[in-house]
Amino acid sequence: MKAPILLLSAFSILLFSCSKDDKPATSPKLIFKYKFDPTQERLNNLGQPATIAAGNAAQSPVMRGLSAHYIELAPLPITLLGKGTVLYKNEETTAGGAAAIDFSKAVIGTDNSVFFEMPLKDVKPGAYQYLRVSLAYQSYDIKINVAALNQEVSGTLASFIGYNSYIDHYKIKDSTVTVKGNRLQGYWGLEVAGKVITGQAPAGATTVPNPLAATSPIPAGSCVVTGTLDNSFEITGKETKDIVITVSLSVNHSFEWKDKNANGKFDPIDGEAVVDMGIRGLKTIIEK
């Protein structure tokens, strides 16, 4: 009887050893996180420092969430849009007529949250100098002046800054707005005290910083924000640890309007119109 017992014991030890030590290896990932920074430098479309236009006023919104439509790594300043390594593209649809970003498929990230990740083994090896992120939707809180009450109140704004968005419906804060159609860059919905107003910023008014505008332009009406990567950023294909890229976005006075009464406060009830809701710059923080 000893032989069967010894055989059973040996099998048990082998089984325990396999279950304890032979864990599946995890593949290292390329991870992207958001950071919303109201103190980061405020840039214009060419990636240069920008002041607030004469006759306008602006404020730094308190971000609730943001979605990206497209992510690309570009190796050189002359790499044209789409010719780098495209990592992600949100689904599009023609349900509203022309091709548009499908808002129902948007992945909305918050401050310090992961908004996209993929195995590093699936990223084309190479050295990359620039990151392009096409932004599509923002949600944030702003201050609104109510002259009749002689006070400012908080409002929540849903801002669509992608080239074109198909929106079935969207929720601002507590209120849901039904659209069932396409809306071009600059469409917005504002909720204040349970009441909703919607509007459209002028075509071409949304700021989209691109320091490579001279060598690698982006299409008019798109929101492909470009920023530099660390000079030593390289994918070798032999990585053993995650690489985390924090995409730091400037919201420094990024909500801008025509200040008709020159009081520096947003008075939509008095007809002050939104002129710009664009992100004001992108920089990266890389952890290896």
In this predicted model, what pLDDT tens digit does every residue of 182-240 receive, in sequence order?
999 999 999 998 899 999 988 988 999 999 999 999 999 999 999 999 878 999 999 99
Retrieve residue 131's tokens.
Answer: 């990151």
In a domain, residue 94? The reply is: yes
**Strand pairing report for 164-171 and 100-102:** parallel
In-domain check, residue 16: no
The predicted pLDDT at position 25 comes to 60
Chain position carrying tokens 């091709």: 99
Q: State which residues form the domain around 211.
A: 26-287
Name the band, by pLDDT with cuts 50, 70 and 90, for residue 7. very low
96-120 tens-digit pLDDT: 999 999 999 999 999 999 999 999 9
Q: Answer yes or no: is 213 within a domain.
A: yes
**Average pLDDT, integer, range 8-16:** 44
- Mapping DSSP onto H, E and C, the string for 12-34 reads HHHHHHHHHHCCCCCCCEEEEEE
Tokens, residue 184: 């071009």
What total number of domains does the chain contain?
A: 1
Burial call 120-132: b when 16+ CB within 10 Å, e when fewer:
beebeeeebbbbb
Greatest C-alpha distance within the chain: 99
The alpha carbons of the chain give a radius of gyration, in whole angstroms, of 24
In the sheet with 29-37, reading across from the earlier edge strand, the strands are 114-119, 29-37, 243-250, 282-287
Question: Residue 69 pLDDT > 90, yes or no?
Answer: yes
Specify the amino acid at residue 218: I
Q: Which run of H or E residues covers position 122?
A: none
Q: pTM of the predicted model, to two decimals?
A: 0.88
Instruction: Determine, yes or no, domain membership for 6.
Output: no
- Of 197, 135, 191, nearest to 161 (Cα)? 135
Instruction: Let me know: does 159 contact 170? Beta carbons within 8 Å.
Output: no
